[in-house]
Structure 1
């Protein structure tokens, strides 16, 4: 029963069924997406926490108000850790996917505002991950990771939706 899933029969209750090739592909893609996001958030958070002084000083060069920075600077790496932990938990993976999408939306909007000139150029606080990329390159990377997060949410819903119909 290693590769067996349970589905609800109309009148017979729960019955065992081996997942189709399509279902196995969805599960594998979801695992790849989850792994990429876990590595992203774990690395991003750890680099911020391991060189906290540099991260904090870079953040204070941003356009944010001091009161916002007082909350944002410590909250960001811990939010990234929470995203990674949610993604590690099969039971709470969907929360990690949604949190990943929200984080990537925020980062993408910020990078886009700098790239398109709405904000003057500020130092990037990537701390090693994509620090050598241009603002345009960073925007492309962020959009890609945002799409990965959205695709992960869609795959999760397709894989785990108990209301979908089966033949």
Structure 2
């Protein structure tokens, strides 16, 4: 029975491989807060799209993308959002979750910026819940802030994993 409670060197090594041990407590807490923001964002937006899929589908088909692209994009977006949220809960895939978050948000933000700057005609927003009621300028600010959250989180996470070249 004593052996069960005894922490071995291999136990602590396994724990250190599954945490950002190179981070200070402040950075570790900051990273967890940023991860929670991203998880909540992806759960909220993905579930909202699925909850009213017909409305989401209709608003997506009013966007500038070709129909052939929309056939793949419409179901893929909520799946990617929910899948990204789930990856945050599997530590082995957290780096992928941060990269996907940054990639998705960069894509969404770029699209909103192009609409805001007039490169595309103004379209109804296919975003979830609260986001669909924002103007394009507000939407761009929120997306920009969330993109920054994802970028900072990825940098902190990589620093905790000991990746060279991170700030």
Q: State yes or no: 1:28 paired with 2:29.
A: yes
Q: After the TM superposition, which parts of structure 1 deviate over 4 Å for at least 4 consecutive aligned residues?
A: none
- Structure 1 residue 129, shift from structure 2 partner: 2.8
Q: Answer 1 or 2: which has greater strand percent.
A: 1
Q: Answer 1 or 2: which has greater helix percent.
A: 2
Task: Provide the residue aligned with 2:98 in structure 1.
Answer: 97
CA distance in 2, matches of 1:127, 1:93: 24
Give the number of the structure with larger relative contact order, counting CA–CA contacts within 8 Å between residues 6 or more apart: 2
Deviations 1:121-148 (A, max 9, x none): 0001123131221101100111110010
| C-alpha contact (below 8 Å) 1:47/1:127 kept by paired residues | yes
Deviations 1:83-105 (A, max 9, x none): 10111222211110000000001
Task: Provide the residue aligned with 2:60 in structure 1.
Answer: 59
Gaps of 5+ in 2: 1-6
**How many residue pairs get matched?**
149
Gaps of 5+ in 1: 7-13
Task: Provide the residue aligned with 2:89 in structure 1.
Answer: 88
Task: Provide the residue aligned with 1:74 in structure 2.
Answer: 75
- Give me the TM-score of the superposition, normalised by structure 1: 0.83
Task: Provide the residue aligned with 2:115 in structure 1.
Answer: 114
| C-alpha contact (below 8 Å) 2:57/2:74 kept by paired residues | yes
| C-alpha contact (below 8 Å) 1:30/1:155 kept by paired residues | yes
